[in-house]
Each structure stands twice: as structure tokens, then as C-alpha cells.
Structure 1
């Protein structure tokens, strides 16, 4: 097992301790309503105000509740899919992240409030992600950058895989510590099984909550890593956290894209943990990571590849 005291700095430990004070490490074992209430309270404790010039409005796209952020400019649009294991989170949990991404990029951002488990099983969350993305593109007509963290990274990639050949203009995808369907019994899942913020046991719980029956085989709308082909995917930037059982998913996805000739760039964020986006205002490492994420969104939207 990893020696977290050596890998993680004081600022991230302070973030972990603040998170745990609201969201105990065993929260994934609680009832779903308790999980959601605790998660929402924790996210609210980290929330910051919108940057000047950003406004937001809730509305439906494709029958899916969304929140549309704007500064009134930009010739592309960002679709954002929130994390939370397909069980917790929503428009409020990632509200300030999306507002800051909108301000920094100058691009409109649409955050998608997709259906979640256990009330709705796979593929409901993917269907909502795809429906909202299609509706935004059809109505607004701007090229898209898909972005998401954790479970939302899974959905962003799933939309990219399933959108090939459909006419959707996807200029790129930015995947933040994504879970993409890796092997739970090797690599980072074992090395970082007991990591702060997310454990292997948590991931197993969320997996089974998401499924109505057996795990789908070869279904990229469930697990993008399980696709038979990675050709034709958009340029991709992946942000993995070093101290995260999911980190090998990003590494394996990078390898698959490279083998298929897809432009891909991955940053392994040293000393960072799953969920570190919320630490961006209390950790220099997390702040620098968020800057890289924002820069990636801007570059992909402009069809630039600075890597």
C-alpha cells in the first residue's frame, strides 16, 4: 500500500480532514438519502461565489434538467458531467466549478443533471448525458468540448464513443480522474485501495448500485475502456490523481487512444487525491491542476493542440 504521509502535502491533508468532517470515509455504506444529504452539505462547505460576469439559468435540454452558464461570448460550448459515483451530486455540487470554468474559458458551460442510481440504473445516466448533449448541439449549433470528473468523466467519454458518426461536432474531451471501467484487481486499484477520499471498496459499492443485473460486456456507454475500437475519438486530455485507485483507468485509456492514433495528453497530478477539484482554493497543487484543466478546455475548443 502507498505511504500517503510521504506523498500528500499539508494543504491536501487539510482538505482531506475538512472533507471527512462533513463526509465520513464510510459514507458510501449509508442509505442513499443520507449519502446525498451529507455530500450536498460537504460541497456547500467548499462553495465559492461566481466570478464576476457569469450568470446561470436552469432549463431542460432534451428532457434533462441542466444549468446553462454564460458570459455572453465564445464560439464553442462545454458540456459538464458531474462526479459522485452515479449516486450523489447534481447541479449544486459542481455549481461553482462550472461557473469558474465558464469565466476562465469565456465559453458557455452546460451542466447536466442526469438521472442517478439506485432509482435509475445503467443506461439511464448515459441516455440523459447523450440526450442533453444532442439537444444542446441541435439548438445552439456550436462545437462542443465534453468535460467531466470521476463518474462524469465516464459519461463524457461514453458520449464521445457513442457520438461517432452521428454528426455531433465534438472538438475534444477533458476527463478529470475518470472511472472508465478498469480492472479492480490490479494496478492502482490495489496499490491505492485504501486511498483518502475514495477507496476500492467505495468503487465496488457504486458499481453494484449502478447496475440492474450483470455487468455489460463490450458496452462503451457503460465502460469506455471496454470499447472494441478507439479510432475516430476526439482529441483528449486526461487528468489523473496520483493517490487514487482510479488512476490506472486514465493511464489505460491514454494507451488505447495512442494506439488508435488519437491525440491524447495525460497529466498525473503528483500528491493529489480523488475529488481534489474542491481543494482548488486551499491547495497550490490543486489550483495548478485546475489551471491545466481550464487551459485544456480552451485549447480544445479552439482546435489547438499545445501538447
Structure 2
């Protein structure tokens, strides 16, 4: 990694750590969410249209000259506790341009006020809402980062279990697929990841699902889905940074999905941190990754045929 790139990454890390450093045990979820939103700009040449999708607050994000007969559902990250349509608006705008389709940002309910399965219910509701307005499932893709990447997988596995149509493809950025944090990268990348350590990950996980389910339940940890379920997934691209403690969440999931017969393209970006795609102004790799993800989704949105599976 070049000295210039290293400086850019370290500057991003400093910004994130400054935000995290303001949080104390008594910091309210509302304050953490406001701080997190303030960390990210809302740049991007896109038209924003707020909508309510079956009771779920969402917004259409349209870059100039994109198609309205294709759509990408986007699930933001934030450990199921922070993150919003505002914090991810720039990323969604760039993804809209890269895909050539409009993006529906899904403002799913957050923990601890709304624990599992609230986020999953909202994700499925938004997918059904889009189809009810004339977009067939094969003309819809899913995308998400961190917790949102795991949520996209959980939604697709739930659709498969109930025999409903699945989306054409999915783009998963630094996806959180194992809420038990059992991957080897929690040890091998602990010194490289300046922010996300195993105790923090486990605390966020418990805050999300409470006492309702076990961390290894595939409904919250798609990593533990069986081969039959994984085989039914549409093509997925997983992007992850080499400096992430959640590196194994992408690597091991891709390995399991491929072994089951699914198409899972894995991109490990050297020197990159958790959801580096959220810093396109500072990191050229972020822009390159979004462009690559957009091309992947566009190809499958154009080529997809109806996909419906039985439990």
C-alpha cells in the first residue's frame, strides 16, 4: 500500500474513532445515531424521493439517467443500532449511478427499541412493496453493508424458505454474516482493525437479537444456513477489506456458498477497513469497489430470469 493511500486510510480511521470516542455508557441511542449521521456527508448527484413502503420509511435515490424498470434495495449498516438513510445517501447515489438503476434505501427499525425480527420484517416488506408496484423480483437486486449485508442475506434465505421469488443478485459490503463472531479473523486481524473488536461485535449482536434466538441461528447469522438454503441464493458479490476483523464473515461465507453450488464472487481489498466504500471522497478504492459492484448488479439485473424456490 502506498504512503499516500495509507495516509488517506488513517485519516478516515481518525474521523471514525473521534465519533466513537464521544460515546459513553450513558450515551443514548438517539445521540449515537445523530453522531453517526454527522460523520458522513450527503454529497452525490441524485434525486431523492421519500416514500413509505408498506409502513417502512424509505427513499428512492436516483442518479441522473438511470432506468426506472430496475431497482436495488439497499440496507444500511450500523450494527442494527445506528446508521440511516442519511448516513448512506452518498453511497446509494453512487451505487445508483454505477448500476444504472434507482436505489430504494430501506429505513428499517433499529435496536434496542426494535429487536429481531423487526429489521427482517421491514426488509421483506420493502421487497414486497416494490414488486407490488410492478417490478418483478428478477428486476430487483439487494445490496447492503455490514449489518445491512447480513440483513440482505437473511431476507433472501427467508424468501427461499417460504417459496417466494428471490432478487436477481446481491452486493454485500463487509457483510456481518456471523453474529457469534467465531471467524479466525477476529484473532488474525485484531491488531489491524482499529475499531471493530470481538467484544464490541458480540455486544452489538446481543443488543440486536436479545434472548429470542441463538447467535448461530441462520435467521440472524446467515453463515450457519444449510447447504440446501445456500444453493438457492442468487449470485452474490462480497467485498471486504483486508484489515477487518469481520474478514472471515465474507471469506467463510463465500466458501460455504460455493460449496453448496451458489455463485459467490469474493473481493478482498488490500489495506482497506470496514465498509471503506462509505468514504468515496477520500479513498479511490471506495469508488472503484462501488463501480465494480454496480457492474455486477447491472449484469444480473439484465440477464436474470424468474427465480422461485421451494422450501
**Range into which the TM-score falls when normalised by the shorter chain:** 0.7 to 0.9
Does 2:220 correspond to 1:246?
A: no
Alignment partners' CA distance in 2, 1:185 and 1:168 = 31
Query: What residue is the counterpart of 1:10 in the other structure?
Result: 7
Using the size of structure 1 for normalisation, the TM-score is 0.88
* 1:15 CA drift (Å): 1.4
| 2:51 aligned with 1:59 | yes
Matched, 1:32 2:26: no
Q: Which runs of 5+ in 1 are unaligned?
A: none
Matched residue SS, 1:220: coil
Aligned-partner SS, 2:17: helix
Give SS of 2:258's match.
helix
Choose from 197, 209, 217 the match for 1:199: 197
| Cα distance in structure 1, aligned partners of 2:22 and 2:117 | 27
Instruction: Quote the residue 2:308 is aligned against.
Output: none
Following the alignment from structure 1 to structure 2, what is the Cα–Cα distance between the partners of residues 102 and 186?
A: 32
Deviation of 1:104 after TM superposition, in Å, equals: 2.5
With over 3 angstroms needed to count, the CA separation of the structure-2 counterparts of 1:218 and 1:11, relative to structure 1, is: closer
Quick check: 2:106–2:126 contact (8 Å CA) kept in 1? yes
Kindly indicate whether the alpha-carbon contact (under 8 Å) linking 1:64 and 1:128 is maintained by their aligned counterparts in 2: yes
DSSP-derived class of the 1:9 partner: helix
Aligned CA distance change for structure 1 residues 28 and 273 (closer, same or farther; 3 Å):
farther
CA contact (8 A) 1:177 1:241 kept: yes
Retained in 2: the 8 A contact 1:173–1:236? yes
Q: 1:212 aligns with which of 210, 213, 218?
A: 210
Distance 1:245 1:215, change over 3 A: farther
The yes-or-no answer on 1:171 pairing with 2:164 is no
Give the Cα–Cα distance (whole angstroms) in 1 for the partners of residues 240 and 52 of structure 2. Answer: 31
Runs of 5+ unmatched residues, structure 2: 305-311
Q: TM-score, normalised by structure 2?
A: 0.87
Where 2:49 maps in the other structure, the secondary structure is strand
Is 2:112 aligned against 1:118? yes
Aligned 1:1-307 pairs, distance under 5 A: 9-21=6-18, 23-25=19-21, 27=23, 29=25, 30-43=27-40, 46-48=41-43, 50-51=44-45, 54-70=46-62, 71=65, 73-142=67-136, 143-164=139-160, 166-181=163-178, 183-193=180-190, 195-213=193-211, 215-216=213-214, 219-228=217-226, 229=228, 230-303=230-303
Aligned residue pairs, count: 294
Q: In the TM superposition, what is the alpha-carbon distance from 1:234 to its structure 2 partner?
A: 0.4
Secondary structure at the aligned position of 1:193 is classed as: coil
- The CA RMSD measured in Å over matched residues stands at 2.3
Cα shift at 1:289: 1.9
